[in-house]
Structure 1
């Protein structure tokens, strides 16, 4: 009995494959000659992609989404800051050197500012704009008075996000207490 049931299964399989092959042949034989070719009614310009696949995203472009209205946008992934004015217009963008402790992604407000003070790493800093704390470590933007923007000691827990002096001046003028700060990935 085992032989007869396996013979039936084999016969059905052969019949099914033959039927599929026949249907595929018929479908292929009835394909119009112009299938897959551009039609005369659609211009090449209209069907071309809007942006080339090889186009690279502008590293200075404001991250989307990053909120609305006047705000400071800080990207953890690119270590870049944007000062965004009314109408979503970028007034300035610049690279920064992050501390060893990052803020969480989210929306904050500037909580305090200090004109000149020693940083937690011992460097004299100016134009400190703080916007949050992580485990009692203040997180904020600043500029070293000596102009350095070197990476901090990875063995220390530091929340200072360092900018050049010129960029620190721009941040100081833009981000007053209560100003919105948006942290993105």
Structure 2
């Protein structure tokens, strides 16, 4: 077997790998678009893929820099990245647990891809940012898509979002990301 045959074989193999990767990348984009479309069709309160024109303004007391902002009164989250235009990357409604964190600035200290919430529901995209009086506060999404408040008498600090919004927050807020809680 001559060197020309070896080079031709290696070139063909490399082209096959590049083609496979291109097809997979194209398919991933199509699957993401299809998932976003089906998530929006599944619920009236469709998750946002960015700031909606009718979304409430970012609270003035939310600080500066790259951050997640949570409004206790508004039950809303904003994802802010001043390095991008627009800096408001997404804003969506959430359902708080039975307890609320104190207003202030925190950092994401722990993340878990899947687990079980204090209320017993299967959850995903858990992003924890503080513990107060024995209650852990963090963002998550119920796997069943439920955003119902916890049962009466159950103390929970889980702030629930729609699944697509939970994915946005998960992707946006690695460990160390600042979380600003406003009144």
Shorter-normalised TM range: 0.5 to 0.7
The 5-angstrom pairing of residues 123-138 of structure 1 reads: 123-138=121-136
Indicate the RMSD between aligned Cα atoms, in angstroms: 1.2
Match of 1:102 among 89, 100, 114: 100
- What is the CA-CA distance between 1:151 and the residue it aligns to? 1.2
**TM-score relative to the length of structure 1:** 0.67
The 5-angstrom pairing of residues 1-185 of structure 1 reads: 60-87=56-83, 89-185=87-183
| Greater C-alpha radius of gyration | 1
Distance 1:132 1:80 in 2: 18
Q: Following superposition, which runs of at least 4 residues in structure 1 exceed 2 angstroms of deviation?
A: none
List runs of 5+ in structure 1 lacking aligned partners: 1-57
Q: Which moved more, 1:85-94 or 1:145-154?
A: 85-94
Count how many residue pairs are aligned between Structure 1 and Structure 2. 128
3-state SS of 1:92 partner: strand
